[in-house]
Structure 1
Amino acid sequence: MKFLDEAKVYIRSGDGGPGCVSFRREKFIEFGGPNGGDGGRGGDVWIECVEGLNTLIDYRYQQHFKAKKGEHGMGSNCHGASGADAVLKVPAGTQVLAEDGETLIADMTEVGQRVRLAKGGNGGFGNAYFTTSTNRAPKHANPGLEGQEMWIWLRLKLIADAGLVGLPNAGKSTFLASVTAAKPKIADYPFTTLHPGLGVVRADGREFVLADIPGLIEGAHEGVGLGDKFLAHVERCRVLLHLVDGTCEHAGKAYKLVRAEIEAYGHDLADKPEIVALSKADALDPETLKSQTAKLKRAAGKAPLILSSASRKGVPEALRALQDAIEVGRAEEAPPAAAWQP
């Protein structure tokens, strides 16, 4: 399945059906009268968060969604049928924005969440509605109201508890594969990961969702490499695990480069709790490992974890640190307990 995290779609709710002008004419009925029914209501456009989706690829092949129009009113006071609704089904984490791409309309974060994006037009009144004591035979009816139409943006931001960041080939996909059942592409060249990946980590009787995104390089916020748009997928994370390749020339410079791109991206991503780890420790001799650790400690301002996904060295400690940070984040987000009332 191809991954798509952004789509622009056109939506239009249904028009209301027009009312009917009709008069009752039956044998042996001395006084007939108006009996035109009202028009049916136009269908609404809804967006619904469903289970089993993790991409917006369906909206690459269909960009127009229109609800059905309401049916005409008919004689004998028959009301027109309402138009069928149009429903856009999206994965959890999808944001709905206006055509300007900035105004947030809805944030779909929970499965089952349902939001009406466009309301259908009301049906018009038939001539029976306009009957009064002074106007016993009205000969007019209302047309139905028009529906609403607009262009909207759908943007997917994966929902994960923790996110992996770092330069290309820093060992993020290897770490994800070693601690989850995910099977990301792993190779010895940069930009192996082209799309974000998710995996569920289970350790010490606890579990959390871990997200892996493509690597960042210098100038990513200006579009260099794959750019920094994938950072949107770690915006919802409670903690970041910053992996620095121990086999690079200077671990401290590598760390500062990625931090600069995160700060340039904004959206309060730089303020999230961060765990720093020196990866690929199994490929370093003791002297080089000591030197790279010292450089990374000076750059990050704290002692990094020493990590090797291949030999599992430091992996339990990293997972434990992530779990602790996630629990702290969950506790801070939880609403305060209500005070007891006698």
Structure 2
Amino acid sequence: MGFIDEAKFFVKAGDGGNGCVSFRREKFVPKGGPNGGDGGRGGNVIIRADKSVNSLIDFRYRSHFKAERGSNGQGKDMHGRKGKDCIIVVPAGSIIKDSETGEFIKDLTEDGEELLVAAGGKGGFGNPRFASGSNRTPRIATKGKPGEEKWLKIELKLIADIGLVGLPNAGKSTLLSRLSAANPKIASYPFTTLEPQLGVMHFKYHESCIIADIPGLVEGAHQGVGLGHKFLRHIERTSIILHIVDMADELCRENFVTIEKELNYFKEELADRTRIIVLNKCDLVDEERQKELREHFTDKNQNVIVLSCESGRGIDNLVEKLEEILEFQDSDFSG
């Protein structure tokens, strides 16, 4: 099944139960007082973030979510039961918006974080509520209030520590499979990766982290060209960006500039993210060309790693560099 990273859905909280008109019927008491119970409150609709979920795939099959109605009140002062809440489980990293207005509601980033999106209606009053000195036997009760309802939009931004970017066929999927426990589809033609791929990366001394392969970007991606526009948002939460460059491509310098421009056009703050330039396919390039390209890209970024995803050469150097940067970021953050 395909990766779903945005969806529109309808939520309806439960209506409140109706109040009850009832009177005590006791032996030798011909006119007992009112004893109708109140209606129960309708259930709420709540969205809950769960870090073990990483796709909105469930929204492909279901677009309406409804909480339970409150029970009606009954005689003998029996109040209606509250309706059951409807819990919608979404991935951590989900942004909730009003579908009609586009208004931002909340960014659910923490595991277990909850958001009340539709409140249940209040239950109606039973007839004892209307008793007075002048009317001791009221024959009125009120209906429950309707629960809130609305159309919402959900957008998913993957929460990953490391993001892989680069032109299609630069070798990102192969690198992801080398670095993590992921098994993405790999083939030697552009746009093999049609959805973001997540993997878990393990280190010797640092705790494991999430690494994401962002589908191939092309020139104009920030304006909706190619597949990039749909997936650029997933790079926003990463703290380290690995820019994969196919050094066997004669236009690799121009290709690098193309992707960097797209990232900066999309969000200027991405320019401040830690970058590692990964010069891939060194096994297809002679030593002189490797040296030339290494020097060229080192002028742009001190973090340059030459490797071959295919043969595995240089992968250990990249892993050590990533661990070093993550350790530094942790100490910098704690300090």
Q: CA deviation at 1:100?
A: 5.0
Deviations 1:165-192 (A, max 9, x none): 1111111111111121211111111111
Asked whether the equivalents of residues 208 and 323 of structure 1 are also in contact (C-alpha less than 8 Å), the reply is no
Using the size of structure 2 for normalisation, the TM-score is: 0.92
1:219 equivalent in structure 2: 220
5+ unaligned residues in a row in structure 2: which ranges? none
Matches of 1:179 and 1:190 in 2, distance apart? 21
Asked whether the equivalents of residues 51 and 92 of structure 1 are also in contact (C-alpha less than 8 Å), the reply is yes
**1:226 is matched by which residue type in structure 2?**
L
Q: CA deviation at 1:226?
A: 0.8
Deviations 1:253-307 (A, max 9, x none): 1111001110111173232111112111111011222233344345x25462212
Q: CA deviation at 1:201?
A: 1.4
Deviations 1:210-239 (A, max 9, x none): 111111111111222113221222211111
Q: CA deviation at 1:69?
A: 1.4
Matches of 1:267 and 1:40 in 2, distance apart? 51
Q: CA RMSD in A?
A: 2.1
1:340 equivalent in structure 2: none
2:127 equivalent in structure 1: 127
2:266 equivalent in structure 1: 265
Asked whether the equivalents of residues 275 and 303 of structure 2 are also in contact (C-alpha less than 8 Å), the reply is no
Q: CA deviation at 1:194?
A: 0.9
Q: Structure 1 residues 319, 118: CA separation in 2 closer, same or farther (over 3 Å shift)?
A: same
1:64 equivalent in structure 2: 64
Q: Structure 1 residues 222, 69: CA separation in 2 closer, same or farther (over 3 Å shift)?
A: same
Deviations 1:308-331 (A, max 9, x none): 223333222222222233334444
**1:16 is matched by which residue type in structure 2?**
G
Secondary structure of the residue aligned to 2:202 is strand
Asked whether the equivalents of residues 47 and 87 of structure 2 are also in contact (C-alpha less than 8 Å), the reply is yes
**2:168 is matched by which residue type in structure 1?**
P
Select between 68-77 and 10-19 the one with higher mean Cα deviation.
68-77
Using the size of structure 1 for normalisation, the TM-score is: 0.90
Matches of 2:39 and 2:251 in 1, distance apart? 73
Asked whether the equivalents of residues 238 and 325 of structure 1 are also in contact (C-alpha less than 8 Å), the reply is no
Asked whether the equivalents of residues 36 and 78 of structure 2 are also in contact (C-alpha less than 8 Å), the reply is yes
Matches of 1:130 and 1:228 in 2, distance apart? 60
Matches of 1:79 and 1:327 in 2, distance apart? 58
Q: CA deviation at 1:86?
A: 1.2
1:286 equivalent in structure 2: 287
Matches of 1:329 and 1:101 in 2, distance apart? 38
Q: CA deviation at 1:134?
A: 4.1
Asked whether the equivalents of residues 160 and 211 of structure 2 are also in contact (C-alpha less than 8 Å), the reply is yes
The answer as to 2:117 corresponding to 1:117 is yes
Asked whether the equivalents of residues 11 and 149 of structure 1 are also in contact (C-alpha less than 8 Å), the reply is yes
Superposed, which structure 2 residues align to 1:1-342 within 5 Å?
A: 1-50=1-50, 52-100=52-100, 102-206=102-206, 207-266=208-267, 268-298=269-299, 300-302=300-302, 304-334=304-334
Q: Structure 1 residues 101, 313: CA separation in 2 closer, same or farther (over 3 Å shift)?
A: farther
Asked whether the equivalents of residues 160 and 211 of structure 1 are also in contact (C-alpha less than 8 Å), the reply is yes
Asked whether the equivalents of residues 96 and 155 of structure 1 are also in contact (C-alpha less than 8 Å), the reply is yes
Secondary structure of the residue aligned to 1:23 is coil
Deviations 1:48-79 (A, max 9, x none): 22354221111111101111211221222111
Q: CA deviation at 1:29?
A: 1.6
- Structure 1 ranges of 4+ moved more than 6 A: none
Asked whether the equivalents of residues 40 and 70 of structure 1 are also in contact (C-alpha less than 8 Å), the reply is yes
Q: Structure 1 residues 216, 51: CA separation in 2 closer, same or farther (over 3 Å shift)?
A: closer
**1:273 is matched by which residue type in structure 2?**
T
Deviations 1:121-147 (A, max 9, x none): 110111112223443222322221111
Matches of 1:66 and 1:109 in 2, distance apart? 24
**1:246 is matched by which residue type in structure 2?**
M
Asked whether the equivalents of residues 23 and 32 of structure 1 are also in contact (C-alpha less than 8 Å), the reply is yes
Secondary structure of the residue aligned to 2:288 is helix
Asked whether the equivalents of residues 101 and 153 of structure 1 are also in contact (C-alpha less than 8 Å), the reply is no
Asked whether the equivalents of residues 45 and 87 of structure 1 are also in contact (C-alpha less than 8 Å), the reply is yes
Matches of 1:51 and 1:117 in 2, distance apart? 20
Percentage identity across paired residues of the two chains: 46
Select between 166-175 and 70-79 the one with higher mean Cα deviation.
70-79
Q: CA deviation at 1:193?
A: 1.0
